[in-house]
Structure 1
Amino acid sequence: MKSFFSFFLIFFSFSFLAGQDIDLEHFKALKFRNIGPAGMSGRITSIDVNLRDKDHIIIGAASGGVWESRNGGISWKPIFDDQPTQSIGVVKFNQNNPDEIWVGTGEGNPRNSHNSGAGIFKSIDGGKSWKFMGLKETKLIHRIIINELNPNQVLVGAMGSAWGDSEHRGVYRTNNGGKDWDKMLYIDQNTGVADMVADPSNPNKILAAMWEFHRTPWGFNSGGNNSGLYLSYDGGENWKEITKKEGLPEGDKGRIGLAFAPSKSNIVYALIEADKNGLYKSIDGGEKWSMVSSKNIGNRPFYYSELYVDPNNENRIYNLWSYVSKSEDGGRTFRTIMDYGNNVHPDHHAFWIDPDDSNYLINGNDGGLNISRDGAKTWQFVLNLPVGQFYHVDVDNDFPYNVYGGMQDNGSWVGP
């Protein structure tokens, strides 16, 4: 076994150094098995729940693929392992037909360890099989909106490549279930979609946050004069830019997080990275805006900028950053509810609130998945989601040998 493993590493290394694509056909006969470690996990990027059966949960991981639970998070199985990438940006049920699941690949948190994706995929049999639906060159797909009145119409928010100029950014739309795609909103080669949300009472009304950004191996530039907020009333056919005149901050803007209030969809919140970061609020559905607060609203906007509004209370907001902050007064004040304690890992990227029971919450962070049934008072860590993001692995010369690995934000591990 040891000699075989060494051969595999040598073969892989020379293939990589030679700059040649790896032919996956060579590995089809290999049977991989999970060797651990147990009791740990990794970065969760997206969560969705089948509203007809809330025990049916799907999650996407930064480099661990798509996983499914059919019993409320007790046990899990991978459902995307045979696909060409395991870097996931977004997972989404078609709530009119939950056997239809969409997966956008490429993590939408472009830190220096992120992985690019390979387009968008769809399953029509509950995740048993998948079909590639295009948009391969978009690299990072962060948002998917399925029109609940016309599920064949799907909008995709593509961040685009983090590592260079690309014309494959912006809002894409299909009207035939993914057979064909049209680019509906495009700014330039450096500006992609940071967030995109639909009005819960009108699926043709869309808000899109465009983000100018660029990553290099040694740094990251977030923001520019091409970042901004755009509003459409016709499913993405036409767009109106929201500017300083409508109340947004002046000057360069960075990443923007958006959230409609489902119970009163005339209320919309925007977390805006600017010279002075702030939480902004609209009470007319996104036309006019005003700053609500600039205090205790988070850090490192390029890595977070995620807002979620309680479906049953338009004033209750969850703001995801290194911690999770909660507001009960429409964003005027926040208090931290998830810090380094409480059985929860920091650095939060995904959240789900049960539309029928605001106490049922699911949270995804750099350490994995947590579930609360009491409105965030306590959290249960999901121990059996092996989606750790390893920076490097190695073995020693013992017999039998030991395997060592260093993980993103989850320490170093060793096991036989």
Structure 2
Amino acid sequence: MSAATRTSPRTSARRRRWLTACALTASAALVALPASAAPGGDNSPFGARTLARLAAQRTHSAHAVTPRLTAEDDDGNEADEIAEGADQYAEARTSPGIVAPGAYGAAWQSLTNLPRTGGNWRDLTALPYDSDDARYRDFDSNSSGGSGRVTGRMAAMAADDDGYVYAGSAGGGVWRSRSGGGHWQPVSDRLPSQSTGALALDGAGRLWLGTGEATTNADAYLGSGVYVLSDPHHGTFSTRGRVGGDELESTTIHELRFGGGKVWAATSEGVWSHSTKKITGAWKLEFAPNPDYLPGGTKANDPSAAYKNIANDIAIDPKDPSKVVLAVGWRSGDDYNGFYTKVRGTWTRITSGLGDLPSDADGVGNVTFARSADGSRYYAIDQSPEQLHTNPDSGLEGIFVSKSGSPTGPWTKIADYKGLAASGSALTSSGYMPGIQAWYNQFLTVDPSDARHVYAGLEEVYESKDGGDTWSTVGPYWNFGFSCWSIDPAKQTGDCNPTTHSDQHGVAIGRHHGKSFVYVGNDGGAYRRPVDGSQDSAGHATDWTSLNDGTIDTLQYYSVGIGKDLAYGGDSVTGGLQDNGQSLLRGNDTVMGSNFGGDGGDTLTDPADGCNMAEEYVYLAVQVTQNCAVNDGSWITDPTKVTSYNVAPADNTTSEARFIAPLAADMRSSSTWIAGGRHIWVQTHGYAIRSGTEWKSLYDLGAGRTATAVAASGGKVYAAWCGPCNNQGFARGIAVGNADGTGWHDITLPATGADGTVPNRYLSGFAVDPHDADHVYLAVNGFSRHWTEGPGAGVGHVFESKDGGTTWKDISANLPDVPTNSAVVTPNGGLAVATDLGVVYRAPGRTSWQRVGGLPAVAVLQLKLSPDGSTLYAATHGRGIRAIKVRDCD
């Protein structure tokens, strides 16, 4: 989508949106789906995340005020903005071409073969993170929204009747609770993939894990197959438990279903089956609608290959397990979309007899099935490609029931988006309708003791106790906009009940101490309530409990910032998160707070005073605070007493910056900041900046180009750019100049990325030698040409220049062929590099690389040093913020 057609993000005071489907799934799974090549990719809403207006008439506070709003706060097509953000994450790893399956698997093997440094990473964020923290209750936070303690996105849930609960995260692996939720332990750290697609318990009590998150968002990583854990109460997953061979490597797995002595897998490469009696032997490909596009096929390298064989779910007839219905299709629509069953031994599209459930390709997109325990009913959620393209309100076709218990129907529609909106939904106050992200948000389950008792998940959680005749929004989007809500800090969450985080993905029902609970997984982690719980007069549940107690850390960070905590000692640590705002951990905190909602992008923190912070939302929407954003609520009666200021440079308002745009402070002057969009910007007021007009443009990269990385030291500035940034004509470059505006020029880089030169791939980060501004390192994303079939993919991931960027030398040596994201020069002259599979380190005077610490297979997006240089901090995208002593790396 061009910059001219997308809507500018909101840059003034606002209630941040939680519904960002650019939910990044960092893992060691295999390559991301390149959305730029996807059929219909540019037309698909990608997160209808909007803001709840803080209108005075919706509060009960006598002193409530309407926050500052500008024309940029008007509702626009925010969904397209979020879609572009996700596309950009994928572009960095796939451009300039298509990445072959197996890239991450080979990289993980190579990484594990590296020698390891000493020391171990400390998990700094392994403590509760309170999104409702009353210390930060202002109009730039989500405080009082009602979702309470959060962690990173949960893609799947499973639970048994013995109090054991299993949560599968998007990028941080699988976790187990022995106490009905809480007191979590990781159980998949030894696997080469930490991305979860499906979790399922079979009749023998074994836990099955399908790796590769299957939400079809542009940056969902693929997996390494299916694993089974025979003793889930006590054991942990290992590679020895992989089912079959390598048939399901490089896929995502949407669902695992059981029937007829088989486990069925709905994957991004068709439907497969395997015996449940033994895990050896190959998987059988049951059905692929377009086999020529599978690996090894004649069209395997076609840009649309990843979208031609997507299967979403499998429904097995409880009366006859040989009768199976497959839900197949790409969420944006394709000719092969539809429901299939075997007719005389051949998989055939069902074209009639389904009743209200669509049988045409335009009406069948992402589908989830659920069967009642007694076999009397089948339920289904269907997302419609046609609705996705033509209906600005919702992409939901509906929720359906087959009262015969057969997956072939006939099916009756029991809910549509209008009916769900009238059931107590909070989405309508945000300008959207239920199912706006039905291709991304879906779960469905039936109470084992009552075939008419159903839970459905979209952006919110819905419940029906009468088979779909009536519905209640038991887990509303948030509490903003409800009459019970008040922004007054003295009233905490007012009279509103706690709710779940938005964006629902996984669900399970289990028992603990003899009581049945429903467990839901979403973009904020895991929550539970009694299956037959209580509701208030609006139909909202009164009994949700957050299970994100701090023992489970799957937080997905983009960035990290560190500064001295002058009030409490030690360091103040903050970071920007996917869909969970900005976390803030003070020196004396036992609970992290959040002063900043929605997505959190890049972060700057004053090394001398950790309460001086700059936080990015998206597209360079920068906010600054000088008191850790602690707010005593006085701004309610006096709007001039704000704690945060919006200081976005002009590329924010013209939408000419990356979704997560680069922001950096000069290494020798924390008051000089560099920001990158189409222009390279500078401001010299540091944390005292109060307006976006204080930025000055240093250099225009040119139309269609946008900065991917910036760095500065002693007034010398480096800026990397791409444009176009996708695999359709991808180009990259580096510009160098001075912070005073002089000397700016483009570095001449070979267009082909010849051996030994900087490849024609995404340039993701600089690391400047603190003693010599002309000595700089460059981190290069994507995969080398062995895996990437694109022009100029070249080889190498880390390059060094000793002449200010004029010439570069490949120093990758034994570094695994894996996307690199960030780098820092340590005080002793070593070099630490963040990759999609962890952190590597090159000691001073050495040419080879070592693996740092013992991180599982998780992406690390940014590295920073503590103010005294003694500690290395890593922003992981799935396992929180980690820290290790620099001395332990040598």
Q: TM-score range by the shorter chain?
A: 0.7 to 0.9
Q: How does 1:240-255 map to 2 (within 5 A)?
A: 240-247=348-355, 248-249=357-358, 250-252=360-362, 253-255=364-366
Q: State the Cα distance separating 1:64 from its structure 2 match.
A: 1.2
Counterpart position of 1:33:
122
Identity of aligned residues (%): 25
Match of 1:184 among 269, 286, 291: 286
Match of 1:386 among 552, 556, 568: 552
Whether the 8 Å CA contact 1:109–1:302 is kept in 2: the answer is yes
Whether the 8 Å CA contact 1:104–1:141 is kept in 2: the answer is yes
Q: State the Cα distance separating 1:251 from its structure 2 match.
A: 4.6
Does residue 307 in structure 1 map to residue 444 in structure 2?
yes
Does residue 373 in structure 1 map to residue 481 in structure 2?
no
Does residue 196 in structure 1 map to residue 304 in structure 2?
no
Paired residue type of 1:173? S
Match of 2:190 among 82, 91, 94: 82
Paired residue type of 2:249? E
Does residue 349 in structure 1 map to residue 505 in structure 2?
yes
Question: Which structure has the larger Rg?
Answer: 2
- Closer/same/farther in 2, CA of residues 123 and 348 from structure 1, 3 Å limit: same
Aligned residues: 373
Paired residue type of 1:410? N
Whether the 8 Å CA contact 1:154–1:178 is kept in 2: the answer is no
Match of 1:338 among 475, 483, 487: 475
Paired residue type of 2:373? P
Q: State the Cα distance separating 1:41 from its structure 2 match.
A: 1.0
Q: State the Cα distance separating 1:244 from its structure 2 match.
A: 4.0
Aligned partner of residue 128 in structure 1, secondary structure: coil
Match of 1:270 among 380, 392, 395: 380
Q: State the Cα distance separating 1:183 from its structure 2 match.
A: 0.2
Q: State the Cα distance separating 1:117 from its structure 2 match.
A: 1.5
Q: State the Cα distance separating 1:398 from its structure 2 match.
A: 4.7
For normalisation by structure 1, the TM-score amounts to 0.79
CA RMSD of aligned residues (A): 3.1
Deviations 1:335-380 (A, max 9, x none): 2111124242111111112489884211111111112136243011
Does residue 279 in structure 1 map to residue 387 in structure 2?
no
Higher RCO, 1 vs 2 (CA within 8 Å, ≥6 residues apart): 2
Deviations 1:169-227 (A, max 9, x none): 111111342421110011124131112233455544433211224xxxxxxxx223311
Unaligned runs of 5+ residues in structure 1 are 1-15, 161-168, 214-221
Q: State the Cα distance separating 1:86 from its structure 2 match.
A: 0.8
Deviations 1:92-130 (A, max 9, x none): 23331x3x4321101111223422222222233433352
Q: How does 1:91-170 map to 2 (within 5 A)?
A: 91-96=199-204, 98=205, 100-126=206-232, 127-130=235-238, 131=240, 132-133=242-243, 134-147=246-259, 150=261, 153-158=262-267, 160=268, 169-170=269-270
Whether the 8 Å CA contact 2:442–2:457 is kept in 1: the answer is yes
Tell which deviates more after alignment, 41-50 or 115-124: 115-124
For normalisation by structure 2, the TM-score amounts to 0.39
Paired residue type of 2:284? D
Match of 1:58 among 149, 166, 169: 166
Counterpart position of 1:411:
581
Does residue 296 in structure 1 map to residue 396 in structure 2?
no
Question: How far apart, in 1, do the equivalents of 2:564 and 2:113 lie?
Answer: 32
Match of 1:212 among 330, 347, 357: 330
Deviations 1:309-360 (A, max 9, x none): 2222222221101111112332233221111242421111111124898842
Whether the 8 Å CA contact 2:381–2:398 is kept in 1: the answer is yes
Aligned partner of residue 319 in structure 1, secondary structure: strand
Counterpart position of 1:218:
none
Paired residue type of 2:281? K
Whether the 8 Å CA contact 2:317–2:407 is kept in 1: the answer is no
Whether the 8 Å CA contact 2:163–2:511 is kept in 1: the answer is no
Aligned partner of residue 90 in structure 1, secondary structure: strand
Whether the 8 Å CA contact 2:125–2:553 is kept in 1: the answer is no
Whether the 8 Å CA contact 1:173–1:183 is kept in 2: the answer is yes
